Structure formats: C-alpha cells, structure tokens
Amino acid sequence: MIFGFPLLSVAIWLPIFFGILVLATGNDRNAPLARILALAGAVLGFLVTLPLYAGFDKSTSAMQFIEFRDWIPHFNIHYHLGIDGISVLFILLNSFFTPLVVLAGWKVIEKRVAQYMAAFLIMSGIVNGVFAALDAMLFYVFWEAMLIPMFLIIGVWGGANRVYAAVKFFLYTLLGSLLMLIAFIYLYRESRGSFAILDYHALAIGMNAQIMIFIAFFMAFAVKVPMFPVHTWLPDAHVEAPTGGSVILAAIMLKVGAYGFLRFSMPIAPDASHELAWVIITLSLIAVVYIGLVALMQSDMKKLVAYSSISHMGFVTLGFFIFNAYGIEGGLLQMISHGFVSGALFLGIGVMYDRVHSRQIADYGGVAHKMPVFAAFFVLFAMANSGLPGTSGFVGEFMVIMGAIQVNFWYALLAASTLIFGAAYTLWMVKRVFFGAVTNEHVAHLTDITLREKLIFAVLAVCVLGMGLYPLPFAEMMHQSVTDLIVHVGHSKL
C-alpha cells in the first residue's frame, strides 16, 4: 500500500466493477455505451497499476503493497495480497492488454457486446488476483474463477467447433487444478492450519511429500503453460476463440502456469524441484524442438501461432529449472515478451480474419500489396517471434540459452535450434500470407488497417522494440526477487 491506498485491491476489483457496470447496460441496443464504459474501465484499470511500477522497491525481495484482512477466520483463510519482483510485471502486462482487446473487439463484436466486454474486464481483475494472492485459498479461488470468463468467451463468441474446444479447455485445466487443491489442503494440515503461501515457503517437508506436492502442482501448472504432452487443448482453444480470447489466452493466461512454478513448486518443494528438474527440462526441450517442428506444417495461422506459443513457453520452463539467474530472469522476460508478441500476432490474424473470414494460410497471398502498413507491423512481430535481436523476443531466449549452456551444452544446443525452427515456421507463414502476387478476390479487396487498428499495433510495436533495445527496466524489477529465490531453492528443506 502506498499513501494508504489499497492499490492491489483496486487493480483487482476496479475492472470487475466496471465489468458488472458494463453488464448492466444490458442488451445490444446500448452497445455504444457498453463499449465506451468498457474502454474507460480498461484504461482506468491499467492506469491504477502504474503506481505499482513507480512505487516498487527494487531493493527487496519481500512482498510489497501488502493487504491483509480476515476472510474466513474459521479456516484461517485471509484476504492477503502482495507482490514481489516476480509478480509485479504480470499485473502490469495483464492490465495493459485489457484496453487492447476491448479496442480490438470494438467493431467486430456485434452481438452481446456488453457481455463480451464484461467478460474481458472481469477476466482482467481475476488474473490480477491470481498474481497478487498470497493466500493459497484466495489464489485457488481466483485461479478457478479465471476459467469461467474464458470458457464463456470461447463457448459463446467462438468459432464453429467452439463447444468441443471450450469443454476440452475446461476439463484439461480443471483436472490439473483439483490436484493443486489437494496439495493446498495437505500443506494446510502440515503447517498446522495456515493458508499463507509464504508460510509454505518456509515449511520443512520430507522428500516423499515434496515429490507428491511437486507432482500435484506440476499437473496444475503444466496444463496451463502448457507443457508437452498436455498442450493439445491450446491449439483447439485458440482456433475456436474469438480474437480477444486468443490474445488474452496467449498473452496472459499461459503465464499463470509458469508463474505457479516460481511461486509454489520451486520454493515449497525445492528438493523435489531439483530432483525432478530433468523431467521439466526434458519436456521443455521437447516443447522447443518437437512443437517447433509441428508448427512448421500448420495450415491454420492461429494453430501455427498457438504451437509457436507452446514452443516459446518451453523456453520459460527450461529457464526456470536450470536454477540460475540467466534462466529464471530469461524465462520471466520471455513470458513478458511472449505476451506482447503472441498478443500482437493473434491481433494481426484477427485483423485478417475480420476481413476475409479465413485463418487458412492458403486463402491468402500478397496481402502486403493491399495492406502495406499492416504488413510492416506484422513482419516486425514475426521477426520478434523469430527472436530477432533488437526485439523483445530476443532477450528472453538469449538469456535462457546463456543460462542453459552453463548447465549443459546440449540443453543450449537443443534450445538454440529455435533460431532455425522459429524463423522457419514464422517467416514461411509470412511469405505465404504477405508476399507473392495477390492470389484471390478476397485479398484483392482488402483495405489497410484503420486508425484504431494502427493505434493498437503501434503501441505493441513500441513495447516490442522498447523491450528489445532496453530490457533493463524490466529486468531490474525482478533482480532481487530472483536472486533470493535462487538462494532459497538452493537450501535443502530436508
């Protein structure tokens, strides 16, 4: 809290409040009002998170902006919020994206506008809750609540096969989180009645129990990341989700899984983390190489970017479980960058889908002739997706590779293969979609992006280039927390 103002609560509840307000505008006759209210809420929601950055104390790894109230005293459950260098940037990232998806859905969403906008606002608040919660039960509630708006977004505004995708998404992620709940209850018992996450960090746990806890968390987080082999829900979900849904899914929701590894798995079960690191590293490298290859032959642009997301998230989990500063900070930077880049790519695909109503690469060709400005933006984001230095996509990959090589040369070698695969699938798609002669009538009638769309992409382009050329402000925020995390994980609990 600064100036006695509960910033985190505001970051969580303000968007939710606006979401309810937007819902109250009712049916589509009031759509313009719903849009404006939603935008106001989203922008305000972002503005209120800025003091979190400005007022953040980089010199400590302790939790900041703490709020602590009783919630369910009987079970010792508290409304306990706080952030450190690991979570702060994700709250900003999440709140930053909400106005963008509201703007992206401005024209395209014509039915149930209020509900659509409200879903994103509520989603935004809930996700902030996930990153800010310091009480396990509070975390769990936010974690599960997050599913509902996304389930609705896919299920209501999605494509033809949306029900299959929504159910697959729901079941996949629910299954994992049930195990996490069991882990929490076990930890509650072991800690003699505490749901405070930080208490769990300090709790001494035997090896077998650590392994069980680690596996339970792993099931929950691996699905969300998603890690190979529990990744197949993601391409389906993306394909069916409306553009905004894909953006939030890729840019924000995938991050909560990776965040969970740092907040729960590693500090609570450090010995098990070391013991089972090879599993995570293996799965991560499979994600980088196998998924990178799979992405190559995708004919659906959204599927391609979805697979590319899985591959990029492989870098994140790889970075975390090599237990050095390069890896963990690289992984975190990769998460932020992936937010910008995958968000931008999905928005770009949305722009084309809005006009041509196809996501098939084969239905395009020569788009750059008709949409030069858009093509310039898209190529920039594609380059960032290929990890070009000077863009944000490079920073995290570079750091993780630098960290991996210190542990094992082959980890680095396999990870670095993304230099080739990542460029291959991304640029091959760019070639087939944007370059070449105009292939069909639909493309011939394309018009370049509007001012509203330009604004969205320009903002993201600034982020991608800014972070690529000067990542220090991002990294500085996390230094102390990551350093202390590494020290903490280095101490055995046995």
Binding site for another protein (CB under 8 A): 168, 172, 229, 232, 290, 293-298, 324-326, 329, 366, 368-369, 379, 383, 388-390, 394-395, 398-399, 401-402, 404-406, 409-410, 412-413, 416-417, 419-421, 423-424, 427-428, 431, 434-437, 470-472, 475-476, 479-480, 482-483, 486-487, 490
Cα→Cα distances 329→123, 320, 333, 402, 493, Å: 26, 8, 6, 11, 24
Between 5 and 409, CB nearer to another protein: 409
User: Cβ of residue 254: shortest distance to another protein, in angstroms?
Assistant: 18
User: Cβ of residue 40: shortest distance to another protein, in angstroms?
Assistant: 30
Between 21 and 423, CB nearer to another protein: 423
User: Cβ of residue 272: shortest distance to another protein, in angstroms?
Assistant: 21
Between 18 and 340, CB nearer to another protein: 340
User: At 209, which amino acid appears?
Assistant: A
User: Cβ of residue 296: shortest distance to another protein, in angstroms?
Assistant: 4
Between 324 and 358, CB nearer to another protein: 324
Between 47 and 487, CB nearer to another protein: 487
Between 68 and 410, CB nearer to another protein: 410
Between 203 and 379, CB nearer to another protein: 379
User: Cβ of residue 130: shortest distance to another protein, in angstroms?
Assistant: 25
Helical axes 325-356 vs 372-385, angle rounded to 10°: 150
User: Cβ of residue 113: shortest distance to another protein, in angstroms?
Assistant: 34
Note whether 438 and 366 are within 8 A (CB).
yes
User: Cβ of residue 491: shortest distance to another protein, in angstroms?
Assistant: 12
